[in-house]
Structure 1
Amino acid sequence: VHLQPFSPQFIDPVLYQWNVSGDCSLHPVAGVTLHTRGSQCTDFLSIQKHIHLLEVTGSSHYRFALDWPRLFPKGDVLSVDAEAVRYYHCMLTELQKKGIRVAVTLYHPSIQSQTLGLPRMLHAQGGWVNTSTSDAFVDYATYCFQTFGPLVNVWITVNEPNRLTEAYNVSAKERDMVLRNVLMAHARAWKIYHEHFRQQQKAMISFALHADWAEPANPFVDSHTSTVQHFLFFELGRFLDPILQNIAYTDANSCHDCFQMPHFSKDERSELKGALDFIALNHFTTRLVYPKLKQDIKRSSFVHDYGCSFIADPTWASSNRGQAMVPWGLRKVLRWVKNRYGNTRPVIITATGIDDQSSYNDHLRQRYIKSYMQEALK
């Protein structure tokens, strides 16, 4: 039986209910006439709860992610789930009614999931190592632009692609393919939106990078200082440079010898150039870094990971789970981005926060948000 949301029209809850465990039929109740109606957004009680929470907190913006496997169970447009489409359309419509601006993430990888948040069929074919996933993403993005676009103010194509590439336990060459396929999927989706939807819908589009700051564990040791630069280029530069820097990367031409970039053809470099409307950063903390010991790493893999180890400064305030609260780290990462890419694109902090376990007296969270906002405004 395919279950549909069903709104009761009477106070008595037993008059309207699914006969799930019976003979799969709804039977009339003696003396009661049921007047049916078309489906409505109020069928989804979770939407009303979300909207209420946003209203009581005075929120003007709201960001959430679409569930790619839920919308496209088999990974292609032919398998679209109409009920999932209706749910998201209702959510966006209700947000628009309340005057809340919406940022929608097309693909939010779930590192804990076996499929990394991909439709199962795409994951079985190799996931982002396979170029077919890049093609499928472009089709999925195009469908979402067509279906939800008029109700969306900001699109995030992929959340934290710099973390996604590290989720693949594959060879360095295959990991480069993941980076290349994700970047090209984003660039192609951006181009489709720019050419076919932007004039009518007027939304902005980008991907959101995890953007923690790093400091040398020992600022008086050159290798520690250079490790910071390696970390930042690996964290941010390998995604932003091909789009915002006029550099023709090849396998032999690395970013200031920090890491090797996958090869992009001339046409691909042209597609990548300028393919984002703003720089989206997810910033949470700052860490101390130092080079990995030689016995812990082979030179052949050094250019394909962060190439460093992390430690925490015990003098920094931190949460119960060990997340350090270092407000000036946000200011430094914003300055690094500005110094490297200039004012060519606006910068938006798309995620931040700390794991305060208190539901009501969340003083740590309040202190975190206030201090980080102060640093961002300096």
Structure 2
Amino acid sequence: MLRLKMLILLSIVVSSVFPCAASDDKRNFTEGFYFGVMPENFTWGVSTAAFQIEGAWNEDGKSESIWDRFSHEGGHIALNQTADVSCDSYHKWRDDITILKELGVKHYRFSLSWSRIVPDPTTGEVNQAGVNFYLNLITALKEAGIEPMVTLFHWDLPQILEDNGSWGNETIIQQYKHYADVAFSHFGYWVKYWLTFNEPWVVTWSGYGIGEYAPGIKQPATLPYLYAHTIIKCHAQAWHLYDTTYRPRFNGMVSITLNTDFFAPKNSSKPEDVEAAERAAQFSVGWFAHPIYVDGDYPQVMKDYVQRNTNSTDGSSRLPKFTDSEKLFIKGTFDYFGLNHYSTSLCEPADAAYQASVPKGYLGDMEVKLTRDPKWQKSSSSYLYYVPWGMRGILNFIRTNYNNTPVIVTENGVTDRNGTLLDFFRIQYIRAYINELTKAALIDNCNVIGYTVWSIMDNFEWTSGYTQKFGLYYVDFDNPQRPRVAKQSGTWYKGVIADHGFPDPMFPPKDDLRRTT
């Protein structure tokens, strides 16, 4: 009875934002809140990244990464903050296990630091202290009944490799393969879920196109395409390595995590806006997904538009070409689809003024004007608007474009600036996005098998430093002990996990007595 009262109270609190369906058949009411419980094998989790939480930036043999260098240079990060200590998870990983157990998550997504495991990839020597750190974390997770979901690369390239030509030097392909081999061989027995790269779109565009992220290089016309080409080859090498050498022993799954908005036509009745939305999607998620999930090559619309904007006399393009053998090697290198989704963009054909305002290269090549509806609720992050229906939209895009491949949402969340423990806006955001995911899964038959909140706790949010906070747990970065304190959103998410979704409060499942307090 107490639990029913709490559910009714929560419905009253958020009813102005999420009107409940007044329909005998909730499956026919797709605009309001949808009650539904996810399938038994659906997995709930939270996520972090090594650079953002570990600290210990130069301890126990770890080498410098491009984000260490970028933050130490000054002028790149809000308030000139660094991640030298951050959440201190290198020393306080047991505290992280404690709060993961409190939440009751089924999986924990985190990344390995390449610089910590193989400090000098040009020699390939393994740092046993780094290996031991992750072994302790991974085995403790398994003992707690939590599946480790391990990302090999979450933006923190060893500075040695950046100095050695970065992703433009193809020796990095074998160096990355060696790093993957070290990870698979040491941790593969315990790890079921692997991700080769996190958000290669951000790596290439933000790091080497507009230069807002490490290493801060601005060559938008060429480097994003060239470096993405190499990253896709690295991914394929790691997948095949696992498939041939480690899958027979460990039977895990390997994929890549791609970030994308949902791209909606500004006016759905205008064919040109519909076409612009499709083109934007192919230039964004399709840039990496089409080679991996479709045919080993870039989307045709992307090849056509980059070539016509290259303005070459010989018909060449700034978009590199895969050989036929490379296409065969890249095609099908996935076991599921890792999706990071936060917001939505409205699309229409770019006019001359818009084209003139964007950097020459990638953004100009797609010839799409991207805007936001002024009525959409903003977050503390400039790119993140509250548009829950975009979650359902992007999941259906994946269903129709990539053969309904199983999807794990590997990141979704929202920022604030003060770290308040009473973060009802975060509950509002995550609740609505999970509900749209539920509709996609249970109404539209999208093959969604997992959901992951970014992030378990407040951490170093890249160029925003500690001024933007995503966490379900508050971290006091002025306290040397870095205590983790549950926010209201953490308590709420714990209930969603226990309920396995949103059971109808009027018709609870038969085993609902498991949660009476």
User: Normalising by the residue count of structure 2, what TM-score does the alignment of the two structures yield?
Assistant: 0.59
Deviations 1:202-224 (A, max 9, x none): 11111100021122334455543
Structure 1 portions without partners, runs of 5+ = 5-42, 110-116
2:178 paired residue number: 139
Question: Is the alpha carbon distance of 1:359 and 1:305 closer, same or farther for their aligned partners in structure 2, counting shifts above 3 Å?
Answer: farther
Note if 1:50 corresponds to 2:96: yes
Structure with bigger gyration radius: 1
Q: Does 1 or 2 have the higher relative contact order (CA < 8 Å, sep 6+)?
A: 2
Q: How does 1:255-294 map to 2 (within 5 A)?
A: 255=302, 257=304, 259=306, 261-294=319-352
Contact 1:76 1:140 in 2 (8 A): no
Structural mapping, 1:305-316, within 5 Å: 306-316=366-376
Q: What's 1:19 paired with?
A: none
| 1:163 and 2:202 are equivalent in the alignment | yes
Distance 2:124 2:320 in 1: 33
In 2, Cα distance between equivalents of 1:375 and 1:175 = 32
- Structure 1 residues 268 and 129 mapped into 2: Cα distance closer, same or farther (>3 Å)? same
Specify the SS of the correspondent of 1:224: helix
Provide the C-alpha distance between the structure 2 equivalents of 1:3 and 1:69, rounded to a whole number of angstroms.
11
Q: Which residue of 1 aligns with 2:71?
A: none
C-alpha deviation, 1:340, in angstroms = 1.2
2:295 to 246, 258, 280: 246
Deviates more, 1:292-301 or 1:175-184: 292-301
Say whether residues 1:84 and 2:133 are aligned partners: no
Give per-residue Cα distances to partners, 1:249-274, cap 9 Å, x unaligned.
69xx5448455653111111111111
Measured after TM superposition, the shift of residue 68 of structure 1 is 1.0
Paired position in structure 1 for 2:421: 360
Closer/same/farther in 2, CA of residues 368 and 149 from structure 1, 3 Å limit: same
* Alignment match of 2:377 (pick from 317, 335, 351): 317
| Alpha-carbon offset, residue 174 of structure 1 | 3.8
Cα distance in 2 for partners of 1:243, 1:44 equals 34
Q: AA paired with 1:342?
A: N
Q: Is the aligned partner of 1:334 residue 2:369?
A: no
- Deviation, structure 1 residue 81: 1.9
Matches within 5 A, 1:110-121: 117-121=156-160
Q: Secondary structure at the match of 1:102?
A: strand
Letter in 2 for 1:226: E
- Give the deviation of 1:75 after TM superposition: 1.8
After TM superposition, give the deviation of residue 153 of structure 1 in Å: 1.5
Shift of the alpha carbon at 1:119? 1.1
Measure, in 2, the Cα distance between the counterparts of 1:216 and 1:370: 25
- CA 1:199–1:359: 2 relative to 1, 3 Å: farther
Q: Does 1:95 align with 2:144?
A: no
Is the Cα contact below 8 Å between 1:159 and 1:207 reproduced in 2? Answer: yes
Q: Which amino acid aligns with 1:198?
A: R
Whole-Å separation in 2 of the counterparts to 1:3 and 1:369: 36
Of residues 211, 226, 244, the one that matches 2:260 is 211
Is the 1:209–1:282 Cα contact (8 Å) retained in structure 2?
A: yes
Measured in 2, the distance between the counterparts of 1:303 and 1:324 equals 20
Residue in 2 aligned with 1:185?
234
The residue matched to 1:84 in structure 2 has which SS? Answer: helix
Indicate how the Cα distance of structure 1 residues 291 and 164 shifts in structure 2: closer, same or farther if over 3 A, else same: farther
The DSSP-based 3-state class of the residue aligned with 2:101 is: helix
Residue 249 of structure 2 is matched in structure 1 by 200
Q: How many Å apart are 1:278 and its aligned residue?
A: 0.7
Q: Which letter maps to 2:403?
A: G
Q: Tell me, yes or no, if the aligned pair for 2:305 and 2:365 is still in contact at 8 Å.
A: no
**Alpha-carbon contact 1:217-1:288 (below 8 Å) kept:** yes
The CA distance in 2 between the partners of 1:249 and 1:369, in whole Å, is 33
Determine if contact 2:279/2:302 at 8 Å carries over to the other structure: no
Runs of 4+ in 1 over 6 A off after TM superposition: none
Note if contact 2:170-2:230 (Cα within 8 Å) is conserved in structure 1. Answer: yes
Contact 2:295–2:327 (CA<8 Å) still a contact in 1? no
1:246 CA displacement: 3.3
Question: Once superposed, what is the RMSD of the aligned Cα atoms?
Answer: 2.7
**C-alpha distance in structure 2 between counterparts of 1:178 and 1:325, whole Å:** 31
Tell me how far 1:90 sits from its aligned partner: 0.5
Map of 1:30 onto structure 2: none
Cα distance in 1 for residues equivalent to 2:257 and 2:96: 23
Instruction: Give the distance between the partners of 1:187 and 1:159, measured in 2 at CA.
Output: 14
C-alpha deviation, 1:336, in angstroms: 1.0
User: C-alpha displacement at 1:170, in angstroms?
Assistant: 2.6
1:228 partnered with 2:277: yes
Report SS of the residue matched to 2:255: strand
The one-letter code of the counterpart of 1:121 is I
| Amino acid aligned to 1:70 | R
For residue 74 of structure 1, the aligned residue among 120, 137, 157 is: 120
Q: What 5-or-longer segments of structure 2 have no aligned partner?
A: 1-57, 61-88, 209-217, 308-318, 440-517
Relative to structure 1, the CA distance from residue 282 to residue 44 in structure 2 (aligned partners, 3 Å threshold; closer, same or farther) is closer
Q: Which residue of 2 aligns with 1:350?
A: 410
Q: CA deviation at 1:319?
A: 2.0
User: Match of 2:386, SS?
Assistant: coil
Query: Which amino acid is 2:347 matched to?
Result: V
Q: Secondary structure at the match of 1:276?
A: coil
Aligned identity (percent) is 30
Rounded Cα–Cα distance in structure 1 between residues aligned with 2:184 and 2:136: 16
SS in 1 for 2:176: helix
Q: TM-score, normalised by structure 1?
A: 0.79
CA distance in 2, matches of 1:290, 1:123: 37
Aligned AA (2:387): V
The change in CA–CA distance for 1:248 and 1:165 in structure 2 (over 3 A counts) is closer
Q: 1:91-120 deviations in whole A, cap 9, x for unaligned?
A: 0011111010010110001xxxxxxx2111
CA contact (8 A) 2:302 2:366 kept: no
Q: What is the CA distance between 1:3 and its match in structure 2?
A: 7.7
In the alignment, the residues of structure 1 paired with residue 296 and residue 90 of structure 2 have an alpha-carbon distance, to the nearest angstrom, of 49
